[in-house]
């Protein structure tokens, strides 16, 4: 069965943030100094910042399996539950987010996620950075030539 990605309904935001927190602490947090972990967890609690993001969720058999949050052609969060790594959830999320939209999409990938982003068509635009206790690699993926109006139907991707 394929992961289906769609805009996340507001009532699922707490579950999405908990999935993000859990996956970050398991896979990313161990590689960051304490101030980096604290910075990320503060970000997840900043309601004003979160209100400015668009969220997508990937679902398998009705269960939330992954989360993507973005603002202005920049992916801020992309996390997939450990049981669904390498099963198409991240690809479904990125494809749903970029469906029919022009121009490049950027991300500051963690070292852990960089290979996954490369498999999704992103390329490094600079070397490893370290800011506020967080390591990241700036990356970019070129977009499509023209943009269609993204409707709920078009923002759902099956991969």
Q: What is the pLDDT of residues 65-85, one digit of tens each?
A: 999 999 988 999 999 999 999
- Closest listed residue to residue 106, CA positions, set 146, 78, 133: 78
Q: What is the pTM of this model?
A: 0.86
Any idea what the CATH number is for the domain that residue 132 is in? 3.40.630.30
> What's the number of domains the chain is made of?
1
20 is in which domain, residue-wise? 4-158
Q: Report the SS3 class of residue 80.
A: strand
* Rounded distance between C-alpha atoms, residue 24 and residue 48, angstroms: 21
Q: pLDDT digit string (tens) for 127-140?
A: 999 999 999 999 99
pLDDT tens string 103-120: 899 999 999 999 999 999
Q: Is 99 helix (H, G, I), strand (E, B) or coil?
A: coil
């Amino acid at each position: 069965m394929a992961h289906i990605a769609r805009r996340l309904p507001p009532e699922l935001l707490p579950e999405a943030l908990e999935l993000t927190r859990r996956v970050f602490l398991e896979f990313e947090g161990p590689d960051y100094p304490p101030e980096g972990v604290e910075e990320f967890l503060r970000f997840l609690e900043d309601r004003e910042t979160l209100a400015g993001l668009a969220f997508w969720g990937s679902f398998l058999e009705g269960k939330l399996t992954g989360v993507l949050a973005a603002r202005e052609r920049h992916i801020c969060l992309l996390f997939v539950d450990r049981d669904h790594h390498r099963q198409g959830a991240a690809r479904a999320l990125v494809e749903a987010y970029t469906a029919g939209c022009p121009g490049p999409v950027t991300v500051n990938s963690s070292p852990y996620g960089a290979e996954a982003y490369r498999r999704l068509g992103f390329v490094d635009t600079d070397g490893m950075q370290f800011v506020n206790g967080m390591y990241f690699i700036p990356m970019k993926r070129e977009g499509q030539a023209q943009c269609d109006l993204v409707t709920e139907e078009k923002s759902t991707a099956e991969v």
